[in-house]
Every structure is written in structure tokens, then in C-alpha cells.
């Protein structure tokens, strides 16, 4: 039986999986697209007796933050939702935290301390979007409103007061580093970037400075592709036109919001006979944009998020000196938030209101 003395912060819990203990294929099964998010929030609310809920789904993590009267029961029901969605094989990768531990986790996430790129900037915007979607749908109240607003503010403060975002601080920057490692200083040729979101824009911006002869931005909505390409002196094309450019491009980076792969092995095989050089594919999509079987084709080299993670681990060593200080700041901010959350709501008397 749940104690009536449970504080507001003790009602918070999180269940999820992330890059630390799950593969791309595991996260791909659980991912929630931005378009499906409102319906998914409603589905969870109907299945699980949750008072408040926020779903955070990125290429590196899928997490459900919630608050309810019985967090242990809520946690188990959310675990069941995960397994129904992605299969029992993800159970070993699922983690759950409650109360102060859940709050600390949220603050570490927004501070970029739970990311495989320490101090990454993209996660802060992703958390903000996830919270705003839940807020707009009426899925948050006092507890998670305070938690997420405080965590987002702390994420900005931690980065401002430490050097954890020095060097590579985004997946886009990491992808650009991968291209540099593949080609060295002599790049040249054409690169095609699929997608027009934040990651795609960051990739395109970084690669525009890497001496490629031409940047092509391909997207379902041509105007969105044009907004990125025009700023970089590149060319905007449709998705189909971008796929056609694979016959001549040096590199293709995929970061489009799709539910099914954009590039199938059979389709790519038809385009390869006209090529005279290797093709490098970097798939940053979640769900994946490129069918894994493409890697089996001759002269095709496919890198996904797990490959990218392994390639940049060495570059993270320089940030470790700043990480301890950032951890302290995030923990302190989480502690302050818990104390504020557990304060009784201020009651204003009728006399004071007059």
C-alpha cells in the first residue's frame, strides 16, 4: 500500500533504454517519432494510471518520465508497455529509477552527461521539445513542470560554467569528423545529406567546411532543404533526386524522419554499376534510414550510430577533466529542484488577494 506521506518528488520515476546498454536495433524498435508522440502520450495515459508523463525519444534513448501515486506499480506497467512495443528481448537493457535517482538522471541527461558525446548540445533541444509536446497536450502538472523546467535551465548553466561542450559537441560534428577520417584532408567530390532537421543541418554545415566540391541537401519538403542548402552554397533536391545522386556521390549522410528505410539494398545495387569508386554511407537516423543489407554490397561502406560512437570515443578523453565539475553542478541543481518540489504549495489568503 502506498504511503500517504510520499513527497511529490518521490512520485517521479523514469523507465527507458539508451546507448549505454542497448544497440541501435533495440532502440529502433522502441523509438517514437515526433508525429506519433501525441498519440503515444495518450496511449500511455490510458494504459497506465499516470498523473503526469513526458516521453523523450531520440537516436540515443527512449525514456518515459512520469509521476503517479504508486511509482513502483507505474514503473512496472511502463516496462510492460516497452516490451509490448519492442519485444521481450529489450528487457535486459531497460532501466528504471525513482524519486531522487530519477531526478538526478533527468538533470544528467539535460546536461549532456549521459550522452555518448559528453556535453552534446542537441539533447537539450530534444528534451525541451519532448516537454513542450507533453505540456501542450495537458500531460504534465506541477511535479514534472518544475522538474523539466529546472533541468533545462540546469543544462544551460552546466555548459556555461564548464568546458564539457568544447570540441565535438553534436552528432553532426561527429559525423563530419568521421568523414574527415575517411578522406583525410583531400576530400573533394559530392556529398548528399538526407533530412532537414537539426542533426542534418549540423552535418551539412560541418561538411561544407571540409573541402567537398558540392553539398546536396535532400528532403521530402523541398523548401526545408532549400533553407539549409542556400546558406551553404549547396543544392536542394527531393528525396528521390537525392537517391539518384548516389550514383556519383562520395558520401551520403542520412538523418531523415522516416518509419521505413529510405535506401534499400536492391535499389542501391541498381545504382552501383555506374560507379567507379567506393560509396560511404553514414546512417544517423532512428529508425534507421538505410537497410543494413546495403553494407554487403561491393565497395559500399555503411556506418551507423554505434560505429560513430566507437569512432569518437578517443576524442572524449579531453573532456573528462571537466566532467567531474559538471556532475557536481547537475547533482546540486537536481537536489535544489527536489527540495523546491517537495515544498507545500503556497496558499494565498483571500485578504492577501484583495
3-state secondary structure string across 128-151: HHHHHHHHHCCCCCHHHHHHHHHH
Q: pLDDT tens for residues 244-275?
A: 999 889 889 998 988 889 999 999 999 888 77
Residue 29 vs residues 51, 60, 87, 89: alpha-carbon distances, Å: 26, 13, 8, 10
∠ CA 36-38-42, nearest 5°, is 115
- Residue span(s) of the chain under CATH 3.30.460.30 come to 8-164+323-341
Cite the active site residues.
Answer: 59
Rounded to whole angstroms, the Cα distance separating 82 from 66 reads: 14
Rounded to whole angstroms, the Cα distance separating 191 from 331 reads: 42
- Residue span(s) of the chain under CATH 3.40.50.720 come to 171-308
Q: What percent of the chain has pLDDT over 90?
A: 54
Whether the upstream peptide bond of residue 6 has omega within 30° of 0, thus cis, is no
18: nearest Cα among 99, 117, 103: 117
**How many residues can be counted in the chain?**
354
Query: What was the pLDDT predicted at 1?
Result: 44
Query: What was the pLDDT predicted at 316?
Result: 67
CB 171 within 8 A of CB 230: no
Strands 52-57, 61-67: pairing is antiparallel
Query: What was the pLDDT predicted at 222?
Result: 93
Rounded to whole angstroms, the Cα distance separating 280 from 189 reads: 12
Query: What was the pLDDT predicted at 347?
Result: 57
Q: What is the DSSP letter of 11?
A: G
Residues contacting 194, CB < 8 A, separation 6+: 200, 218, 219, 239, 242, 252, 253, 254, 255, 256, 262, 289
Q: pLDDT tens for residues 123-177?
A: 999 999 999 999 999 999 999 999 999 999 999 999 999 888 777 777 777 777 7
Query: What was the pLDDT predicted at 314?
Result: 62
Question: If one looks up domain 8-164+323-341 in CATH, what number appears?
Answer: 3.30.460.30
**CATH architecture for the domain at 171-308:** 3-Layer(aba) Sandwich (3.40)
Task: List the chain residues with pLDDT less than 50.
Answer: 1-3, 349-354
CB 103 within 8 A of CB 14: no
Rounded to whole angstroms, the Cα distance separating 205 from 229 reads: 9
109: nearest Cα among 132, 130, 91: 130
Amino acid at each position: 500500500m502506498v504511503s500517504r506521506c510520499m513527497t511529490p518528488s518521490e512520485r517521479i520515476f523514469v523507465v527507458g533504454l539508451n546507448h549505454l546498454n542497448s544497440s541501435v536495433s533495440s532502440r529502433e524498435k522502441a523509438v517514437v517519432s515526433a508525429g506519433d508522440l501525441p498519440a503515444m502520450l495518450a496511449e500511455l495515459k490510458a494504459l497506465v494510471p499516470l498523473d503526469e508523463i513526458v516521453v523523450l525519444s531520440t537516436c540515443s534513448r527512449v525514456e518515459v518520465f512520469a509521476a503517479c501515486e504508486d511509482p513502483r506499480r507505474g514503473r512496472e506497467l511502463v516496462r510492460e508497455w516497452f516490451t509490448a512495443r519492442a519485444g521481450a528481448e529489450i528487457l535486459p537493457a531497460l532501466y528504471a529509477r525513482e524519486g531522487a535517482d530519477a531526478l538526478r538522471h533527468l538533470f544528467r541527461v539535460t546536461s549532456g552527461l549521459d550522452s555518448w558525446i559528453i556535453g552534446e548540445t542537441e539533447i537539450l533541444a530534444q528534451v525541451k521539445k519532448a516537454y513542450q509536446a507533453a505540456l501542450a497536450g495537458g500531460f504534465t502538472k506541477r511535479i514534472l513542470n518544475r522538474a523539466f523546467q529546472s533541468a533545462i535551465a540546469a543544462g544551460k548553466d552546466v555548459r556555461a560554467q564548464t568546458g564539457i561542450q568544447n570540441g565535438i559537441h553534436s552528432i553532426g560534428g561527429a559525423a563530419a569528423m568521421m568523414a574527415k577520417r575517411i578522406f583525410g584532408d583531400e576530400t573533394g567530390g559530392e556529398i548528399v545529406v538526407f533530412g532537414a532537421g537539426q542533426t542534418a543541418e549540423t552535418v551539412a554545415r560541418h561538411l561544407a567546411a571540409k573541402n567537398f566540391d558540392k553539398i546536396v541537401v535532400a528532403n521530402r519538403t523541398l523548401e526545408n532543404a532549400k533553407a539549409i542548402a542556400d546558406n551553404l552554397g549547396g543544392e536542394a533536391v527531393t528525396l528521390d533526386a537525392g537517391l539518384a545522386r548516389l550514383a556519383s556521390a562520395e558520401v551520403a549522410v542520412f538523418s531523415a524522419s522516416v518509419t521505413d528505410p529510405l535506401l534499400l539494398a536492391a535499389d542501391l545495387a541498381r545504382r552501383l554499376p555506374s560507379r567507379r569508386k567506393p560509396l560511404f554511407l553514414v546512417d544517423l537516423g532512428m529508425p534507421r534510414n538505410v537497410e543494413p543489407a546495403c553494407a554487403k554490397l561491393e565497395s559500399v561502406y555503411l556506418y551507423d550510430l554505434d560505429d560513430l560512437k566507437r569512432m569518437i570515443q578517443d576524442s572524449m578523453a579531453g573532456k573528462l577533466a571537466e566532467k567531474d565539475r559538471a556532475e557536481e553542478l547537475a547533482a546540486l541543481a537536481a537536489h535544489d529542484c527536489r527540495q523546491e518540489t517537495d515544498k507545500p504549495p503556497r496558499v494565498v489568503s483571500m485578504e492577501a488577494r484583495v
